[in-house]
Chains A and B, each alone.
Chain A
């Protein structure tokens, strides 16, 4: 009986880790929005684009950070719980 419970808990752990990776989709949407808007802006005014590269990368990094937290939760579920 306890063996079944442990199997059940393991199942929940793996399902949870899989679900947690879905958060990375949000990061993908965010990074795509930033890069796409940068590109459309850069094509309108190419001379201003090189000066904004730093802002582009910082924006991407901040958007990515929130997705990385879900990756962290997946890792915690897999290896720490």
Chain B
């Protein structure tokens, strides 16, 4: 953005552009891009932390082992608390979801890097997989009784068709809100930081104000990165509870 300093011509969305790593050319599904690079880095980082952390298996854990153990017990307790004993089978899936999202969010906060989760294309696939899993598991576990979720038996009979319609719409809106919540939060945070960086470029000596603001927003974004991963995982747990748990509507 340095060449654009001197005017208020900033493009906060420029950082989300996907470009091929090697040379120019059209983007195809197999082109290595900055997106695939950072997705790969996230996977490598998770694997390294988990492998190094679980290698010593000491009774008194060291630092890396503590991180892995805390992460494991945190997710495991959350899954058991929200989905119950029956849903604990899905712990590996939720563990992967949480670690992947939190790692890509945090890696995206390194200056100059790229946040894969800022793209709705990535989060939409994650959310669609959750949606498919919940729907398939629900029909597998409960058969046609899964549709009883939409028929609120505690409501008056007159209201039930209307409620069924509302429940049906809210069920199909789930993957949309699930994906846009994560993607939108990460994207908006990065864009805000870039907008303030644009202010800092043109304000001269007074640019200390936007730079201080960037530092504060960066702290907030660290929080948002972890909270959004947590929210994504716990909402998956809540949706899974509908599929595997007993009817509680």
A-side residues, CB < 8 A to B, are 54, 57-58, 60-61, 64-65, 68-69, 71-72
Contacts and interface: CB of A to CB of B under 8 A. Distances in A.
Contact of A57 (B180, B184, B188, B230): B230
B233 to A, nearest CB: 10
A58 B181 contact: no
A54 B81 contact: yes
Which applies to chain B's interface (DSSP): helix, strand, loop or mixed? helix
A69 B238 CA distance: 21
B231 A68 contact: no
B234 A71 contact: no
Given A54-B81, A57-B230, 11 more contacts: A54-B234, A57-B227, A57-B234, A58-B234, A58-B235, A60-B231, A61-B235, A68-B177, A69-B180, A71-B180, A72-B180
B213 interface: no
16 contacts: A54-B81, A54-B82, A57-B227, A57-B230, A58-B231, A58-B235, A58-B238, A60-B231, A61-B181, A61-B231, A61-B235, A64-B181, A65-B177, A69-B176, A71-B184, A71-B188
Nearest to A72: B180
B224 to A, nearest CB: 11
Contact of B231 (A57, A69, A72): A57
B122 interface: no
B78 interface: yes
Interface string B169-189: 000000011001100100010
Contacts of A68: 177, 180-181, 184
Contacts of B234: 54, 57-58, 61
A64 B180 CA distance: 10
